[in-house]
Structures are given as C-alpha cells and as structure tokens.
Structure 1
Amino acid sequence: MRHHPPGRCGVIVSLLALVLTLSGGQVVNSAPAVAAPPPTHASEVAAAEDLAARDLAGSLADTTWRSHVRRAVLASGEVPVAELAGTAHKRLQPRLAEADRRIAEAKGLDEGVGPLLTLRLGTDAMRTALTEGVVPWVAVVASDDEARTVRAYDSRGAVHLLDARTPPRRPVYVVDIDGAKALSAGIDVLKEQLGRYGLTSATETGSAPTTVSPLTSAPSAAAASGFWTTRITSVRLSDDEEPWTKGDAEIYTLVTGFGQDGKVRVDPVDMPYLDDDGVTYHPNQVLVNWSLYKYNLADAVMMEDDDGTNYRDLAKAIAAVLLTVTDQGAYIPLVSAVLDAMPDSWWTDDDDYVDSWYTLARADNGVRRGARGNGSMTVEPYFVEQF
C-alpha cells in the first residue's frame, strides 16, 4: 500500500508499457547469460537489496540449496534469508550479512537491530509451479507504486523485466525488508532523536500504552489518578492498486501539538496492525495522550514507511521546521509544517503521505475522516487510570 503522488513517466517508460501490453504482462527483456548491470536505484537501501537479489538468484544454481530455500518459503510467509543461509550456505551468508549491515546503516538504525532482509514468494498463485520444481527467479521489491516494471534475476545472472501489475506464471522470490521489525526499531530511533532536538516536553505526566482495556466510564471522584487519551476504535484506509511485489504496509502516525512547556512536540505512534487497504481494523489503540499536551487539540499525520527511510534524517528534517514554530497562546495546526518538513524525495520512493487529521480534540467521539480523503478513524475519549 503506497499513497504518494504519481511519478512522471518518460518516453522510454511509455514504450516499455506498450511492449508489456503487447506481451501479455510476461517477460519484457530476457538478457543473455551475462553479468547483470549495476543497480540503478538511487538509494543505498535499494542498491543493497538489488545486490542481495542477484546473489540469491545465482545461489539457486545449487540444487540442494534451492530445495532448502523452497521448503522454507513454502512453509513461511517471509523467510529471514541471512539466517537461512547461515545454516545451509556459508558462502552466501557473509554477502547477505553485509547487505543487512548496509541497509541498517542507510536507515539510521542501531547496530543491534539484527537481520532485516527477507525472502517471500511473489504471489500465492506461484506455489504450484514452485512445488513442482520450476527454478524461480529473484526480484527486488518495487520501490514505487508507479513503476511499470520489476527487475528480476535468474540463476545465470540474466536480467528480466516483468510487468509490475501482472505477475508472471513463473515463480518469483521477492527480496524485501522486514518492515515491521525495521519500523519498530525506527520508531525508537525517531523518539530518541526527536528528544535530542527538544521536540518532546520536559514534563510528562504519563505515558500512554499502545492498547488499553475495554471502555470504561469517566473516572469517579474515588478513582485513582490517571490521564485522558483519545483512542482509535476503528480505522480504515482506501483501497489502492499496487505492484504485486509489494508486501504488507507499515503505517505510523506523527501526533503533533504543543507540550506542557509550550514547545512543539511530536509523538510517533506505530500502527503495526494496519497491513492492508480496504480493511477495517479495530485496534483500541491510544493515539493521543492528552497529559502531554498544553491544549486540548492536536494534529495527526499518517505515513507509510518505505525501505529507504532514514529515521535520523526524518527527525532532523522535522526538527528543522517545527522548532521554528512558537506558541502564540492559542492552538496552531501543525499538519502543514510536518508535510513541509518532508524532503521532496519522500513523495516518490520513500515515506509516503497517507492522510492527516487536523485539530483532533480531546472530546472527539465518532468518525473523523482524513483531510486527504484516504482514511477514516473512529475515535473516542478514554481515561487511563494509574494505580
């Protein structure tokens, strides 16, 4: 699920699209068995994924290893491929470990995040051919929803350009990143870096849990101390067509407002359950902890995490803009400031803007539709007791 504005397609891309249409969505170009050209992806993450895909494709010439990988992929949705190679392909494992290291560094993650590269089957329809022993190709996950082609490699090193919308009949493994793992680690880095830039209040009267117990009424006089929150009882994003290589979405929301000290604060909220468009989820997740905010109003900007995100750069970009905003004694919406902080490249191959909610109020109770019309949330006030 990706939600960035459409990219520009040049003459070459248009011609490729025409060839794809005439070829029925199958192989556009099957190069001779020569070394693949160097990756053309702009980001270090994409380059590392591309190199890993080529190495993996070449390794599948080994029939024993190929059978080992096939069993693992058929048994699991996503396979941590570096760990798999560590037990069955000692020559490949160091190359995959190096790719993992490059990816973690490019994303600004701490060294302890562990392996990130995963391998999965492109579509469920490919399972039969894979089970029957057809040698799979290895593709790199499409980094752009507007991409017309997907690059895949075979075990001889040849490059094949596949239709991004119509999967081939041949089984294809997709090299990707464990998005949930990367985002969880990235949220930790983001919180740490935002704190360093002063975008978290010095005074915090409570920290909101990710999920809460069933709804209770407002606290009575005898109730223990606590704090008011806004929690999401349901959330849904619009359905969007995207390349068949894309895996589950990784969604997070930046909640912004003025902290108790009068300075702008940003609270990242991970939403790991929000995998698919067109599905209504009921997370009972706390979105805003009002004890952290000066006013009873806050904004929320929902983003989708992509492979190329560097969380340290994200925090720096946000801080560069939001630190210039001062408290004028009345609430100022901050959605535009957050969006202005995003580098131009993030509207193409990196984090994608999903939707935004202006002036969420502590008293909001009901459906709130996003300003972009791409998402809707049902929210309610919820009091979290502290014992």
Structure 2
Amino acid sequence: MELRHNANHFRPTDKIKMKDPYGLSKASIPISYAHLLLEIMVEKGFSASEILHKSKIPLTLLHQLDARITPFQWSKLAWVSLTLAKDSGLGYEYGLKLRLTAHGPMGYALMSSPSLRHAIELATQFFNMRLKDYRMDFYEAENLSIIDIQETHPVISNHPEQADVLRRFFYECLMIGTIQTGRSLIERNFSEVELKVDWLEPSYHQKFEQQLPTIQFNQNRNQIRYSSSLLNQSPKMADPSAFQQALAQCEAEQIRFSEQIQDICLRVKTELVLTPEKGYPSLDTVAERLHISNRTLRRHLNEIGSSYLTLLDEVKYKEAERLLLSSDMEIQNIANYLGYLQPANFTRAFRKWSGMTPIQFRQDMKKRGS
C-alpha cells in the first residue's frame, strides 16, 4: 500500500494540543524502540538524521540511554518511516527484528525467567512502563494461552486513513515482537502460535507469510494464542539469581516511570487491599487516601483509558486465581472472602474474567498440575 499523505501532515488536532487527554505529549516511550526503527530505515538506504529532523526528535536523545520520547514523536517517526518505505510491511520487519535487549530491564528479566509462564506474567505486569498506550492481558481457556492486546485510546490524526495505517503498524510491531520474544526465549517455531487481528489482510502479507505465524484477519479481537503446554518450558538462559536482580531493576524503573508520568493506575492498585469478607475499598476511599477528589480520580483514570472498576476487576481476578490455586477453600467461602454476598455473583464475575467458572478453572489447573 502506498501512503498518499505527506509526512508533514501528521499533527495533533488543536483540541488535543490544548487538553492532551491521553498524555501524548509526555515522554513515556523508551528511545530503544526508536533506535530499532531507525536501524531498519538506514538498512533501506534512508538517512537517520533526516528522519529524526522530520520527526522533530532531537539527535541528542539517541545518545541518552534512559531517554524517552512522547507518543506524538513516536507516531511522527512511524509515519515518516512508513511514508518513505511506502509501508511495504514495515511493521512486520520491526516485529521480526525486535530484540529482547530493547526492552531494558524487563528484557533481561524475561531472559532469566524460570518459565515461559513467569515471563508472560512479568511482561503483563511491567508492560505499561514500556508502552502505556496499550494494555496486555493474559489468561488461559480450553488448553490455550491467550494474550489479549488493546489500545487504551484511539490513534490521533487529522486523517482517518493515516490513523488506520498507524494503528495497524503499531499492532504489527507489538504482536509480532511479542511472539519473537517468546521464540527467542524457548527456541520454538511459529507452528504452535496463532494470531487474531481485527484488520483486513494487507497487500504485503504474502511477502512475509513464511516468516510469520498463522494470522486470522478481520477478527473481533487482537490476540496471540498458543498451546498452554508451552507455559512450563524454561528459557535457555533461565537463572534464578539473575531473574531476581532484573526483577528488582524492573520494579525500580516502574517506580521512577510512575513518578514521571504520574501512573495513577499503579497508585490505585496499591490502595486496593482486600479486607476479608468485607471486600475492597471504594472509589471514594481510594481517592481520599490519594488526597484527591473522587471526581479528579475518575478523570485521571479516564484520561488513560482506564477506570476504578477495571482496576478493581484486575485485582479481584488475581486474588481469586491465587485462592483457587493455593487453597482448599470452597467456592462459596472464596466468594465471601472476596466480599461477594452471593456466590453466583462471584461465579459470573470470574467467568467474565477467565471464560470459565471457578470450579472449571480449579479442575483444569489440577489436571495440568497432575
């Protein structure tokens, strides 16, 4: 597909400039991701300095190890590159060449993880400190492991066609890059992996088809699916000591990053501590502990595409899984422990989170364990 809009046409609307509801002008994307895109473009014969100039990214940022660029700058860089390369599968190329080391401390933690399951859980935990504009969820259903990826806000552009191309490019980079990470960890091919994406098959797909997993186009969700039997595979560089050191670095980076972008989600989750048989603190209580009004808290969460109920569901689901896996408590007792007055309400909630009932989940996990 040849891109028809001039690269210089990419600009935020005046409304977004004034309000920036999604934090697109805050430096949040590690410079290492820009490095890789520039490497690919240089290999194609384009000038890195010219691309940076058109993208309004200072050259000095490339030499700062911990530098971050704004989502606006990242989108501009992507659009300039897509325009010069005439699209032609640039997102596929990026994903296939994405290195573990580009992810900083998280990459080293992934390398040394005791199992693929640990690596995926770690990635979903720290994903937002690398790309806060997307959300990654991991769950299992019917012997499948599923990574579900969603953007937390629409791609902002004055041109609908431009927004669609950028959206597809970002998803291709992210989804193929995630699979490439798994491949490098456990040295498996793509035969056990399948992608579901919500866009139509692009014209360049056949050119890369042999290098990619099976992709189902025009689906309802954007998901990576593979056999759950792979979860217990150990990465070739698994190292308990190195893993703990890298994990500590991830946590330190998350704290620094949350301070820089005021990660309200992390702060809310920290306050969502269960009181057995009473439940979790209300929105009003959390807001009071954070020394802001509930209205302000709602607005901050809404600005990054989240909500109090979404975060509460994430915390409840994690605690429910822990109780189902590590205790012999009856389902009714777990429901009461989590603050549900009726076990049926807990069952409905758990089915929504995982795609199965608590009983099915426990039985399935016991089968896997045996």
TM-score, with structure 2 as normaliser = 0.32
| Structure holding more strand per residue | 1
Higher RCO structure (Cα 8 Å, ≥6 apart): 1
